[in-house]
Amino acid sequence: MARITAGVGCSHVPAIGVAMDTGITDQPYWKPVFDGFRKSREWMKANKPDVIFLVYNDHCTAFDASCIPTFALGAAAEFQPADEGWGPRPVPVVKNHQKLASHIAQSLVLDEFDMTIMNEMEVDHGLTVPLSVMFGEVAPEEAWPCLVVPLAVNVVQYPAPTGNRCYNLGKAVRRAVESYDEDLDVMIFGTGGMSHQLQYKRAGLINPEWDNAFLDRLTSDPVGLSRMPHVEYLREAGSEGVEMVMWHVMRGALEDDVVEVHRHYHVPASNTAVGHIILENKSYHDGRMIAAE
């Protein structure tokens, strides 16, 4: 049986990818951003999953106003890094676990979560930057250390799905993974955020108190947190802060009891508050502790 081991929450700021791709991560502006991911990269090596189920948002790259799927599941064999204006990022092609993706598609739809199925899709910084920060630099001719099943969530064109819908989708993702008949360790990423607004009068908005309360409540009050209305994201975390609804898919897919093993928060990276958390499922964490004794 496949199982979900842990969840990762992580920002996706495009400039973080540029800093890695141009080799300037040691510069004073960037060093504190990347120092906070040092432990995460060690943890990824020690807990390497077979597959990452990666919840992210597309930024008018694969989709535009002509087609706005709320939830789009990647079923293609592979996903090329997209050209977002300066050429594709120099990172490997993202390879899917197609059989698992097909199983999840079937399980979700029969569980009444209707997915758009993507048999062709390029992926932008929303997906590749979280992989880069968690794995470190990987040359384009190499391979990412594990397979990736992408789930794109619309948070760009109103209406985005509610946090509650995302949380319940996470529960359905867990049922789908746990009904897959192959021993696989699956990690789930919820990406985007934290507070940021890229446009108009409040451009540059950052709200560290709100962000840190959000990180606290992922462990202490995930259900209450998932019921937060959209208007609170817009008011407190800025117009792009609504990307945070994607973290509820991650949290919903985990057990009720989780152990926070790492947290990193840094302002600013470009216009955004970088937030990052690693939550291990309690059963996985306890198994790890016993094995280490």
Contacts with ligand DHB: how many residues (CB under 6 A)? 11
Reading the block at residue 22, the tokens are 């141009």
Decide: is 58 part of the binding site for ligand DHB (CB under 6 A).
no
Decide: is 285 part of the binding site for ligand DHB (CB under 6 A).
no
How many helices (H) does the chain have, and how many strands (E)?
11, 10
Decide: is 280 part of the binding site for ligand DHB (CB under 6 A).
no
Known catalytic residue: 196? Answer: yes
Decide: is 197 part of the binding site for ligand DHB (CB under 6 A).
no
The DSSP bridge partners found for residue 258 are 281
Decide: is 211 part of the binding site for ligand DHB (CB under 6 A).
no
Chain center to CA of 1: 23
Footprint (CB under 6 A) of ligand DHB, residues 258-277: 270-272
Nearer to ligand DHB, 14 or 275 (CB): 14
Decide: is 89 part of the binding site for ligand DHB (CB under 6 A).
no
Nearer to ligand DHB, 243 or 280 (CB): 243
**CA-based nearest residue to 195, from 209, 176, 184:** 209
What 8-state DSSP symbol labels residue 111?
T
Q: Where are the alpha helices (DSSP H) in the chain?
A: 14-21, 31-35, 38-46, 98-110, 125-135, 163-178, 208-220, 222-226, 230-237, 245-252, 282-292
Decide: is 14 part of the binding site for ligand DHB (CB under 6 A).
yes
Decide: is 12 part of the binding site for ligand DHB (CB under 6 A).
yes
Residues taking part in catalysis: 125, 196
Footprint on this chain of ligand DHB (rule: CB under 6 A): 12-15, 59, 196, 198, 240, 270-272
